[in-house]
Amino acid sequence: MISIVLFGKPGAGKGTQAAFLKEKYNLKHISTGDVFRFNLQNDTALGKEAKVYIDKGELVPDEITINMLKDEVEKNMDAAGFLFDGFPRTIKQAEELETLLTSKGLKLTATIALEADDEVLVKRILERGKTSGRSDDQDEDKIRNRYEEYNEKTAPLIDYYKNKGNYYAINGIGSIQDITARLSTIIDTLV
């Protein structure tokens, strides 16, 4: 069973590529955004816990997030593997993910980063914002703020995964098909 973290800045194409990869490799796509929405909409115990923090405008603690992910992993042990999207975002979360996978007899196969220039990504998100309905996709200052937060909190994961020897970077610019082919070339060597 393979476990992959799909990594990259907002607008790098993680969601788009995850849709192709989950089909091609029979992976369970675990998007933290989707997992949060499910738990909140279905008023689960974890959703209720998360809502307390969200209603205060605070970040949901890692423990609640990892428990939501644990539930998703446990429900999908019949998949050929897992594709994590939007998690981890910090080294502490990466360590928690590793602990979760180890507890299930799994390990992280690879972290694959979609790399792209910020200016290209800003244009991509502004274009997406015309149809996404997301206010944070329509404001360049908010987009750039998301990149600052990414650089501060998430970019340190690059060295963390490089030191583990399972970090792969690919060019995230080009056609969807070209990027999918680049990702597949890496994944095909791992399965």
Active site residue 134: yes
Active site residue 14: yes
- Indicate which CATH number applies to the domain containing 29: 3.40.50.300
State yes or no: is 144 an active-site residue.
no
Asked whether residue 113 is domain-assigned, the answer is yes
Domain contains 103: yes
Instruction: Output the pLDDT for position 141.
Output: 85
**pLDDT, tens digit, 9 for 90 and up, residues 148-187:** 878 887 888 999 999 999 999 999 999 999 999 999 999 9
Give 69-107 pLDDT, tens digit per residue: 999 999 999 999 999 998 898 888 899 999 999 999 999
For residue 33, say whether it is annotated as part of any ligand binding site: no
Q: Within 10 A of 78 (CB to CB), how many other CB atoms are there?
A: 8
Q: Is 15 annotated as belonging to a binding site?
A: yes
Domain of 131?
2-34+81-186
48 lies in a domain? no
Catalytic-role residue among 123, 128, 142, 164 = 128
- Say if 6 falls within a structural domain: yes
Active-site position among 14, 28, 70, 182:
14
Q: Domain count of the chain?
A: 1
Q: Is 174 annotated as a binding residue?
A: yes
Domain assignment present for 54: no
Question: Residue 61 falls within a domain, yes or no?
Answer: no
